[in-house]
């Protein structure tokens, strides 16, 4: 089954997109060296959520990051103003404990009859992570994520959890409220360790769109990795859709869309 997911621009919205920094020196998905043209007001984000629901999108992704609104707060607000739209809200293991996040998610999940879903985000720019007090190196962060997701699954399904690992320790932890069904856990990452973590503990593996052949190769790779753990995965692929009356017009619009990339972002793209 194919589902369509869209994203709420909780860092603000602009005509131009990419990977640059905005004028406040926070990584911004707008990709320009300017403030976003349209700030993420409550009216704008609510309008996007309602439009997504009206036009048949199953899910709205609420990203996380220093330049974004808090995903939990946005999810709670939108949950009360939608009826069918699922809310996939992102969280970083370095920012909140698994027991606390499980309760936050479960509360919205139960109150909305299953419309809250978790997207566990391991990384971000080193500058941004350091500003939040997270100084673990790349691979260690993914090892922590493995533990984090493992604990979320236990908290969602077991009456009580006692656990002592490398990063977390819980004693007689019980989750209230408890979801009627465990929500699927969304997770992405292209590094070797990220793919191993996904194969071992994730439910939905999230990818950025590339060429058909590269996507086919990645999915085949992940199928094999997951099979090694006796598991199967579902897949999510993110595309920036650019429309035009003709293919040429669509490409012209696509070129214009990234024409305001900062020089640092252009280097990253190369």
User: What would the pLDDT profile of 140-193 be if each residue is shown by its tens digit?
Assistant: 999 999 999 999 999 999 999 999 999 999 999 999 999 999 999 999 999 999
Query: pTM for this structure?
Result: 0.90
d(CA 22, CA 26): 6
Total number of domains in the chain: 1
As a whole-number percent, the residues of the chain with pLDDT over 70 amount to: 90
Domain span holding position 31? 5-269
Tell me the pLDDT tens digit for each residue of 11-69: 988 887 754 334 344 444 444 444 567 899 999 999 999 999 999 999 999 999 888 99
The residue assigned the tokens 């753990």 is 229
Burial of 155 (0-12, 13-18, 19+ CB in 10 A): buried
d(CA 218, CA 191): 12
Rounded to the nearest integer, the mean pLDDT of the chain is: 91
The pLDDT of residue 59? 98
**264 pLDDT exceeds 90?**
no
* pLDDT, mean of residues 233-259: 93
d(CA 28, CA 70): 14
Residue 120 near residue 91, CB atoms below 8 Å: yes
CATH code for the domain in which residue 150 is found: 3.20.20.30
The pLDDT of residue 127? 86
The pLDDT of residue 240? 86
The pLDDT of residue 26? 46
């Amino acid at each position: 089954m194919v589902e369509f997911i869209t994203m709420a621009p909780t860092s603000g919205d602009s005509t131009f997109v990419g990977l640059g920094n905005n004028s406040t020196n926070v990584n911004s998905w707008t990709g320009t060296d300017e403030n976003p043209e349209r700030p993420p007001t409550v009216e704008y984000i609510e309008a996007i959520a309602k439009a997504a629901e009206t036009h048949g999108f199953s899910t709205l992704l609420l990203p996380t990051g220093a330049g974004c609104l808090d995903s939990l707060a946005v999810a709670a607000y939108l949950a009360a103003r939608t009826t069918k739209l699922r809310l996939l809200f992102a969280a970083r293991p370095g920012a909140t404990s698994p027991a606390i996040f499980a309760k936050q998610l479960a509360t919205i999940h139960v109150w909305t009859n299953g419309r809250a879903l978790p997207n566990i985000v391991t990384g971000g720019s080193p500058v941004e992570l350091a500003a939040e007090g997270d100084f673990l190196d790349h691979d260690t962060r993914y090892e922590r994520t493995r533990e984090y997701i493992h604990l979320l699954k236990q908290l969602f399904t077991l009456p009580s959890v006692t656990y002592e690992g490398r990063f977390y320790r819980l004693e007689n932890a019980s989750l209230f409220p408890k979801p009627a069904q465990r929500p699927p856990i969304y997770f992405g990452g292209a590094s070797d360790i990220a793919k191993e973590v996904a194969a071992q503990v994730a439910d939905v593996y999230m990818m950025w769109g590339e060429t058909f052949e590269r996507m086919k190769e990645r999915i085949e790779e992940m199928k094999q990795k997951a099979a090694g753990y006796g598991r199967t995965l579902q897949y999510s692929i993110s595309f920036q859709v650019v429309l035009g009356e003709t293919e040429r017009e669509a490409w012209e619009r696509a070129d214009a869309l990234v024409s305001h990339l900062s020089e640092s972002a252009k280097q990253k793209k190369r």
